[in-house]
């Protein structure tokens, strides 16, 4: 008669061992999930600023770390075999005394979709698109009166030759653009 108890004990032990694998990726404070996407962005029709925004791309694993030529954000390996990266942006030329939101879109393309340097790539982004309203879903992180930085922007890691592009817009309609080609 002890066999049924042994079977139940083994089944219970196996359930405890399998539960973390079935639960998915951990979301503890030590495992960053990235800045929340979305938010509400509106243009300010009374704003008459006419300029452009400067945009720099960086690794966003822990703060803004500028990328060098040919370098991409650090690839992160998840416990289930997936990969992602945390990008970062630095945006300058902002009128932070006038507004407190900025629209950001990051896209990761296969390099063959980007025949023209410093121009938007063609078609849908092969490895995905992320959109954030910085200042709405999370507060802006000013470096000075005209510049912000944002890290923890989760993107797919991509593979092969890729191009990471950032497009930024402020409520006055000023635009900024940056791209970073690299190979995974």
Task: State the Cα–Cα distance between residues 37 and 30, nearest whole angstrom.
Answer: 20
Q: What is the DSSP letter of 71?
A: -
**What integer is the mean pLDDT of 109-132?**
94
pTM: 0.81
Region 158-184: mean pLDDT is 95
pLDDT tens per residue, range 50-98: 899 999 999 999 999 999 999 999 999 888 888 899 999 999 999 999 9
- Residue pair 161/181 in contact by the 8 Å Cβ criterion: yes
Q: Give the pLDDT confidence score for residue 80 in this predicted structure.
A: 86
Q: Which CATH number fits domain 54-183: 3.40.50.280, 1.20.140.10, 3.30.960.10, 2.60.40.10?
A: 2.60.40.10
Q: If you write DSSP's letter for every residue of 110-157 in order, what string do you get?
A: EGGG--STTSPPSSS-TT-EEEEEETTSS---EEETTEEEEEEEEEE-
Domain ranges within the chain, ordered by starting residue: 54-183
Tally of CA atoms within 13 A in the half-sphere of 1 that contains its CB: 0
Is the pLDDT at 25 greater than 50? The verdict is no
pLDDT at 73: 96
């Amino acid at each position: 008669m002890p066999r049924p108890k042994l079977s139940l004990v083994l089944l219970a032990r196996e359930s405890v061992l399998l539960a973390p694998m079935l639960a998915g990726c951990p979301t503890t404070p030590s495992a960053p999930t990235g800045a929340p996407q979305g938010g509400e962005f509106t243009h300010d029709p009374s704003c008459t600023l006419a300029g452009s925004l400067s945009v720099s791309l960086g690794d966003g694993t822990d703060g803004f770390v500028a990328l060098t030529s040919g370098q991409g954000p650090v690839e992160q390996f998840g416990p289930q075999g997936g990969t992602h990266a945390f990008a970062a942006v630095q945006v300058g030329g902002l009128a932070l005394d006038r507004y407190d939101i900025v629209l950001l879109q990051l896209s990761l393309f296969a390099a063959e979709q980007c025949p023209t340097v410093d121009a938007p790539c063609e078609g849908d982004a092969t490895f995905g698109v992320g959109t954030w309203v910085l200042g709405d879903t999370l507060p802006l992180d000013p470096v000075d009166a005209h510049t912000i930085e944002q890290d923890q922007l989760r993107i797919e890691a991509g593979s092969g030759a890729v191009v990471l592009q950032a497009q930024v817009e402020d409520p006055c309609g000023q635009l900024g653009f940056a791209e970073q080609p690299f190979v995974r």
